[in-house]
A and B are shown apart, each in its own frame.
Chain A
Amino acid sequence: MSRSATLAERIAGFALPRGCREEILGDLLESGRGAGWLVRESVRIGVRYHGECYRDADDRLRIALLFALAAALVWIIPEATARTFGGTSLFTDPVTLAIVAMWRAAHLTSAAAAGLLLGRSALVASHASPSRAHVALGLIGLLFLLHPVRTALAASAALMLAAWIGTLARRSAEGGVSPDDSLSAG
């Protein structure tokens, strides 16, 4: 297999849901078309799976609820810390200082909390899991609305990292892989 074909297969695989990636790739390879077509068609199929998340009213409600909960975390925690902790600590021991530092970086801790919720929560059914990526994008948009660019970038990174850790924890709790079960469609 040529290098471009291998690369195309990898990109195509990334666009497809985990649970049925192999079979769909096999179906596409069977047609014997070129690398460009393989990638294009995989992306089209992947997009279709992303849209499928919103087909059922129950799934839509659960996705909206997950977004609302995660958005509340991203918004409430920095608000609360700004209002409750404006002064300096009287204690200088390392533990207290660490807690204070964490409390002051509330934009990071709140984004990490939202990311963990997003990745770990079983609120969204496994077939609607690609919607977690959409929720993540919505939350990143919210972070840029709430914070300056540099802070928002750091918080976005914390959110994505925590979401990835949460996803791994959920998969391990579910006892392995289930169809379409990933933060992204890939």
Chain B
Amino acid sequence: MAGGPQPPRAAGVSMTPQGLGELEQLVLLAVLRLGDTAYAVSVREEIERRAQRAISRGAVYVTLDRMERKGYLRSRRGPPTAARGGKAKRLFSVAAPGLKALRAALDGTQAMLDGLPPDLAWSPRR
């Protein structure tokens, strides 16, 4: 059992009773990275490119919908284009509760990693 001092938490962050799943974290991070151009296709491509994870389109759509329902994401419609058959894009941005939940989830992961042997410990560029 690892003892020692409690890990610090980011200011104003409390652990939510319903934490974020791994895909939810990846989706939130992808939306943050993409900024104004975040929609389902670009989110999926960003996760596949950066996290080297193959995920189905359906998984991305239901995760985006769920996160919006929870208030973690906001969506708006972009302009329709001919390449899309005249259909608009649904563009996403991260809302304040989403940022808070993401920070709490990442803090939790970091707290679990703290104190582990160096070969297991996480570093951003390992």
Give residues in A with beta carbon < 8 Å to B: 1, 9, 20, 22-32, 41, 44-49, 51-52, 55, 127, 179-180
Inter-subunit contact A52/B89 (CB<8 Å): no
Q: Which residues of B contact A31 (CB under 8 A)?
A: 41
Inter-subunit contact A30/B83 (CB<8 Å): yes
Given A27-B41, A29-B83, A20 contacting B58 (CB threshold 8 A): no
Inter-subunit contact A29/B87 (CB<8 Å): yes
Bound together, the chains give a CA A44 to CA B89 distance in angstroms of 20
**Interface 0/1 of B80-108, CB less than 8 Å to A:** 11011101111000000000000000000
Please name the residue on chain A nearest to B62 by beta carbon: A52
Inter-subunit contact B87/A48 (CB<8 Å): no
Interface size class of B (residues with CB under 8 A): 20 to 34
Bound together, the chains give a CA A75 to CA B97 distance in angstroms of 46
Give residues in B with beta carbon < 8 Å to A: 39-41, 56-59, 61-62, 65-66, 69, 77, 80-81, 83-85, 87-90
Inter-subunit contact A23/B57 (CB<8 Å): no
Q: Which residues of A contact B83 (CB under 8 A)?
A: 29-30, 32
Q: Which among A30, A49, A127 is the interface contact of B58 at CB below 8 angstroms?
A: A49
Bound together, the chains give a CA A49 to CA B89 distance in angstroms of 19
Q: Which residues of B contact A27 (CB under 8 A)?
A: 39-41, 57, 84, 89
Given A24-B40, A27-B39, A41 contacting B57 (CB threshold 8 A): yes
Chain A to chain B contacts (Cβ below 8 Å), 11 pairs = A20-B61, A23-B40, A25-B87, A26-B88, A28-B57, A31-B41, A44-B56, A48-B59, A49-B61, A51-B62, A127-B69
Q: Which residues of A contact B81 (CB under 8 A)?
A: 30
Please name the residue on chain A nearest to B42 by beta carbon: A27
7 pairs of A and B residues whose beta carbons are closest in the complex: A48-B58, A26-B87, A26-B84, A23-B90, A45-B58, A29-B85, A52-B62
Inter-subunit contact B65/A127 (CB<8 Å): yes
Q: Which residues of B contact A55 (CB under 8 A)?
A: 66
Q: Which residues of B contact A127 (CB under 8 A)?
A: 65-66, 69
Inter-subunit contact A9/B85 (CB<8 Å): yes
Q: Which residues of A contact B65 (CB under 8 A)?
A: 20, 52, 127, 179-180
Q: Which residues of A contact B80 (CB under 8 A)?
A: 26
Inter-subunit contact B62/A48 (CB<8 Å): yes
Bound together, the chains give a CA A23 to CA B87 distance in angstroms of 6
Bound together, the chains give a CA A48 to CA B57 distance in angstroms of 9
